[in-house]
Amino acid sequence: MSPTRSTQPTQTRPTRAAKAPGRVAFVGAGPGDSGLMTVRSVDLLAAADVVVIDQVARESVVARYCGPDVEVVDAGHGDHGQPLTHAMRAKLVVKAAKSAAGGLVVRLMDGDPALFNGLAEEALACHKAGIGFDIVPGVSAVSAVPAYAGIPLTSSSSPAVHVISANDRNVDWAASAADSVTVVLLGPPEDLGAALAKLLDAGRPADSPVALTERGTTIRQSTRVTTLGEVAKVMKSVEFPALAVVGSTVAMRSELSWFETKPLFGWNVLVPRTKEQSGRTIARLESYGATAEVVPTISVEPPRTPQQMERAVKGLVTGRYEWIGFTSVNAVKAVRERFEEFGLDARAFAGLKIAAVGGVTAEALREWGIVPDLVPSGENSAQGLLADWPPFDEVLDPINRVFLPRADIATDTLVAGLQEMGWEVDDVTAYRTVRAAPPPAPVREAIKGGQFDAAVFTSSSTVRNLVGIAGKPHPSTVIACIGPATAKTAEEHGLRVDVLAPEASSDALVDALADYGLGLAAAALEAGEEVVRPSRKKASARRRAR
């Protein structure tokens, strides 16, 4: 008899699909100024699981745009500090993509990926390994750095541009010898020097203007102008990254230099506030060419007992108040956090009138989906708020009570003013402000040693707390204050106030500091002196108020 076969169906396990390797996005990081990065590049960095950085360190870009868990791979140098070849970088990118199965690998390249960055080698390696990729163009240093140095690449007398990698051994230098050609050279300083010598030997006139720009498009940019015959004397002190421009358009820099002539260009400004409160100030300082270093002077903590805030929030929901007044971003944050604990959202403010002490606080409310009914038309302060706050009217106002969520150290000015106008005020401690921990020793030494060109104070407490945790700024440091009260506190602590904002806002404070910087530059030029940042002047140049 033939063996019988089972008629029972056999169960087969589903085949588990192997995870595909991660996709690679070749992204241009731009020439240095993060503001020149494209919208697409920023979106990809935010979504990246792995970022492979290039020869120029881009840690600041990663910190600014990537998530906290992103993995960073250095493709610039090997274990012994030697620069990696294009082939080595290609292997690193492929390895990263295979490790990040199903994820996104951003290959962050200097400037534009397609220009002198090895894109061809790395993209071909991905193609051979079956790894999908995208290419996101970036702003190239070739055009951006000369533009930031005030040097057009073409003119009516110089219509041609030759872009050359300084370490290319197959260049026909004679083709770039004519005065009608602008030559842009990229590469390490040692290669730039050799390439410029070859251009001179090929017949380019020795009096051809040459501009050498280091750290282009950043606030540390520095440009030196010389001639092709004299450039060898300068090259010894040139640092990477650098770019050279040779041609008649270099002469236009004296009239077209716009970046390095900004009022606060190169200034290192101390901002004694928390990072959360300093974004607008930092951005405005950067617009004037300065860099800002934030030193937190206060720490914001919850109230010691939560019952008062809990009662106020419940009263807000049950219709106890006609108005709620926000006097700081911290107050908005404190109320929002309490709302989230209770499962409430912005709809709980329906029927309430909402006041904000100024534009920054109003913006924090708008981010929450709330448009304030009252923002001071004049001074952004308690007095400015009182000037526009309507008095209690028994006919128009069904409720006569105001909720003020504030800091534990808030002054009584606003409460007293509202009470005089007939309002009942619940002045509630929404958060506490305590002195922050001292900054690291190098920062304290920089403050006391004069390494900061200026310090901007936005309140009396920032003055007291900074001096308490870090010491007095050096006499050479320019002191800028947001208002008379802050200036008085600074003077009481032995500081000479150089700049007083015309109105109590961070924008006005930075603008006033920029005007002061312009005045210093104008005075130096009138005296026939070099324009020098305050931190480079001798301490004796300024007198300390007694």
Each residue's pLDDT tens digit, 369-421: 999 999 998 877 788 899 999 999 988 888 999 999 998 877 788 999 999 99
Position 451 scores a pLDDT of 94
Q: What is the pLDDT of residue 13?
A: 53
Ranking 56-70, 99-113, 505-519 by mean pLDDT, the lowest is 56-70
> Looking at residues 248-254, what average pLDDT do you find?
96
How many whole angstroms separate alpha carbon 182 and alpha carbon 343? 65
Torsions phi, psi for 81 (to 5 deg): 85, 5
Q: Is 323 exposed, middle or buried (0-12, 13-18, 19+ CB in 10 A)?
A: buried
Strands 71-74 and 478-481: unpaired
105 falls in which pLDDT band (50, 70, 90)? very high
Closest CA to 512 of 495, 498, 496, 499: 499
For 118-145, how does the pLDDT look when each residue is reduced to its tens digit (9 = 90+)? 899 999 999 999 999 999 999 999 999 9
- Confidence (pTM): 0.73
Q: Looking at residue 541, what is its pLDDT?
A: 46
Instruction: Give the three-state DSSP class for 367.
Output: helix
pLDDT digits (tens, 9 = 90+) for 141-160: 999 999 999 999 999 999 99
DSSP-derived secondary structure letter, 69: T
- pLDDT at residue number 18: 53
The whole-number pLDDT of residue 410 equals 74
Helix 275-287, helix 506-526: angle, nearest 10: 40
pLDDT given at position 432: 87
**Alpha helical stretches, state H, 305-350:** 307-317, 329-342
- pLDDT band at residue 543 using 50, 70 and 90 as cut-offs: very low
Question: Could you give the percent of the chain with pLDDT greater than 70?
Answer: 94
Task: Give the per-residue pLDDT at 546.
Answer: 39
Residue ranges of alpha helices (H) inside 25-108 are 39-47, 59-65, 86-99
In the β-sheet with 50-53, what is the strand arrangement from edge to edge? 71-74, 50-53, 104-109, 23-28, 133-136
pLDDT in tens, 272-293: 987 667 888 999 999 999 989 9
**Tell me, what's the pLDDT at 7?**
46
Q: How confident is the model at residue 299 (pLDDT cuts 50, 70, 90)?
A: confident
- Going by pLDDT thresholds of 50, 70 and 90, the confidence category of residue 51 is very high
For 252-371, strand residue ranges (E) read: 268-271, 291-294, 298-301, 323-326, 353-356
Quote the pLDDT of residue 19. Answer: 67
Of 20-24, 353-357, 468-472, where does mean pLDDT reach its minimum?
Answer: 20-24
Has residue 2 got a pLDDT over 90? no
Q: Which residue has the tokens 């010491």?
A: 471
Residue with the larger pLDDT of the pair 274 and 429:
429
d(CA 39, CA 36) in angstroms, rounded, equals: 9
Q: Which residues contact 332 (CB under 8 A, 6 or more apart)?
A: 326, 361, 364, 365, 368
Least confident of 239-248, 257-266, 411-420, 537-546: 537-546
Q: How confident is the model at residue 21 (pLDDT cuts 50, 70, 90)?
A: confident
For helices 307-317 and 329-342, what crossing angle results, to 10°? 80
- 540 pLDDT band, cuts 50/70/90, is very low
Give the torsion sign (CA, 230, 234, 236, 241): negative
Q: Give pLDDT, residue 534.
A: 93
In this structure, what DSSP letter does residue 537 have? S
Quickly state the pLDDT bin for 14 (edges 50, 70, 90): low
Q: For residue 424, which of 410, 407, 403, 393 has the smallest C-alpha distance?
A: 403
Report the pLDDT value the prediction gives residue 356, as an integer from 0 to 100: 93
Run of H or E residues at 435: strand 424-435
The answer, yes or no, to whether residue 260 has pLDDT greater than 80, is yes
Give per-residue pLDDT as tens, 171-217: 999 999 999 999 999 999 999 999 999 999 999 999 999 999 999 99
401-405, 495-499, 523-527: least confident range: 523-527
What mean pLDDT value characterizes the chain? Answer: 89
Could you tell me the pLDDT band of residue 57, with boundaries at 50, 70 and 90? low
- 96: nearest Cα among 76, 117, 72, 114: 72
